[in-house]
Structures are given as structure tokens and as C-alpha cells.
Amino acid sequence: MQTEIDKKLAQNLVLDELFDLTLYKKMLNFAGLNEKEILNKLIPIETKHLAAWQSFFNTQSAELGLGRKIKLFVLLSLARLSGSAGIHLILQAIEIHGIKKYLAAWERYKNDPLGAEIKNILEDEFKHEDEIVSSAKRTKIYPERVRDIFLGFNDGLVEILGAVSGFFAAFENNISVLIAALTVAVAGSISMAASAFAAQSSQKEIENTEIGKKRFLGENATEIESTGSFRSAMVVGIFYFIGSLVPVLPVIFGATSPLYSIVVAGIIIIAVSYIVAFLSGMDAGKRIATNIIIIAIAVGVTYSLASFAKSFFDIAI
């Protein structure tokens, strides 16, 4: 007899496979030829996995709930807008989530009958799905590029939101806030780009040294593919500035308090946090909560410091 935990696990395993299968089938309606080839290889595997879980747990009927339907709509919309690159990114993210989920379940139930079934599906994930998803070199997605985009955007949004909050506490009008915020945003984007370039260059030097050492010793050493230090720096800097515009936009449209910037930035950061969590296999709730706490601290500290300095020294910072 299954325990309550097993029933919940059974439901999640069946519904997750149904979600993946439904996503792949719907993507076929607008995917390019290369992506259709990949999806047509993945669909039979997911169909087999779904049938295996339904047979194992004796659940022949399954239907996606509201949460999964919303997630399905969002991913399909993103895939339509971003084209082949977006489809490949979504496929890789789905694969990461699947492997992480099955590894955790197998570790917990590896000594039970469920463990053998999970092991079979994991072998499919490791041997077949990974090969299928990674086979198309033409539209290969670099994890470093995704990291650079969201690193720059997230940092720009959080840092400039804190600055805008402090400027509102210090200055008398939103024009001063706008000028100060844009100045900081430009300086910050240049600084972030320079830091990213220095970090990437240093990392590349270390990797090249290690590769040279291995080759000298006769060991097999393959050079790691990279997006390039300059390109990485440009991506970080540009998306830092784009992220910084999120809290600045309400000021451009006449906001006279930081409340509007906080609300807009909060909504965007929740969406961005969810996307980052999905792409990296992290827990979305934990990622969102962490970023909200960071925003709250940044806003609270900068606003309090500016208010204190203005009242104590009787000056505008």
C-alpha cells in the first residue's frame, strides 16, 4: 500500500511527464525543421515514460492542473517569440529539471521497487534525451550567455532600485532623481562590463594554463568553448543598463515617490527570478523569496541612510 508521500510523488511524476509530452507536441505546431526533428525523437521517449509511470502507479487518467496549464502557456509563448534558440533553451531546462527530480527520487527510493523504475528512466535521460537535446550544434545555447544576461539585468534592477529609493529621500523633485539615477545606471553598466571582462579574462588564463600543463604531461585536455571575454562583458553591461531602466521608468513618467519603482521592479524581479530558476533547475519559490528579500534590504537601507543624512546634516545628498 502506498504512503501519502508515495501518492504525492506518483501524481507529480505522472503529471510532469504529461506536461513535458504536451509541451513537445504543441511545439511541433510552430517549430522549425531542425527543432521538429528533435521533438519527434523526444515525444516517443516521453510517451514511454508516461505510460511507465501510469502502469507502475496504476493511474490511467491524468489531467494538467491550472498551475501547469499556466506554465505551459507561458513556455509556449516564450518559444513562439524567441524561435529556435528559445525552444532549445526550454528543452535543456526541461532536461535539467527532469534529471534533478529523478535523481532526488532515486536517492530516496533506490532500495524500493520504485527505485528500479526511476533508474530505467534516468538511463533514458542520461543516454538518449541528453544526446538528442545536445545534438543540434547550429542552435547551441551557451549557459555562460544566459548567465551573463540575467546577471547583468538582475544587478542593474536591484542596484538602481536602491539608488532611486535613496535619491527620492534626498532630493526635492523627480527631475533630480532621474538625472542622478541615469548617471548611476550608465556608470554602473560600464563598471559591470569592465568587471565581467576582467573576471572572464582571468578565468581564461587559468584554464589555458591548466590545459597547457595537462598537454605537457601527455594528458587529454580539451579546450572549453567560451562566448569570449569581450562579448560577455558587453552582454553584462548592456543588460545591466536595461535592468536599471526598470525602476527608472516610473520616474520618467512623473513618479514622485519610490513606491511605483518598487512595485514595477518587484513584479519584474519575480518574473526574472522564475525564469532563472526554471533555466537552472532551482526552486522557483526560494529564488523569488531571496531576490525579494535583497530588494527589501536595498530599498530600506538606502532610503533610511539618505533620509538620515538629509535630516541630520540638513543637506540633499
CA–CA separation, 220 and 178 (whole Å): 55
**In a shared domain, residues 238 and 293:** yes
**In a shared domain, residues 169 and 309:** yes
**In a shared domain, residues 102 and 130:** yes
- What pLDDT does 82 receive? 80
Domain count across the chain: 2
Q: Of 116, 139, 162, which one is at a domain's C-terminal end?
A: 139
**In a shared domain, residues 8 and 20:** yes
- What pLDDT does 84 receive? 81
CB 11 within 8 A of CB 68: no
Q: Which residues of the chain have pLDDT under 50?
A: 1-5, 136-139
pTM value is 0.68
pLDDT in tens, 138-191: 445 555 667 778 888 888 998 899 999 989 988 878 898 999 999 999 998 998
- What pLDDT does 142 receive? 58
pLDDT in tens, 293-302: 988 898 899 8
**In a shared domain, residues 38 and 174:** no
CB 180 within 8 A of CB 171: yes
- What pLDDT does 116 receive? 73
- What pLDDT does 138 receive? 43
- What pLDDT does 83 receive? 82
Q: Of 139, 158, 180, which one is at a domain's C-terminal end?
A: 139
Q: Of 139, 154, 178, which one is at a domain's C-terminal end?
A: 139
For residue 52, give the nearest of 23, 21, 78, 27 by alpha carbon.
Answer: 21
Range of 202's domain?
143-313
Helices (H), the chain: 4-27, 33-57, 66-109, 113-124, 130-133, 143-170, 174-216, 229-252, 259-280, 284-313
Give the CA-trace dihedral at 169, 175, 177, 182, to 10 degrees: 180
Chain-centre distance for alpha carbon 109: 29
- What pLDDT does 286 receive? 83
For residue 237, give the nearest of 203, 279, 277, 187 by alpha carbon.
Answer: 187
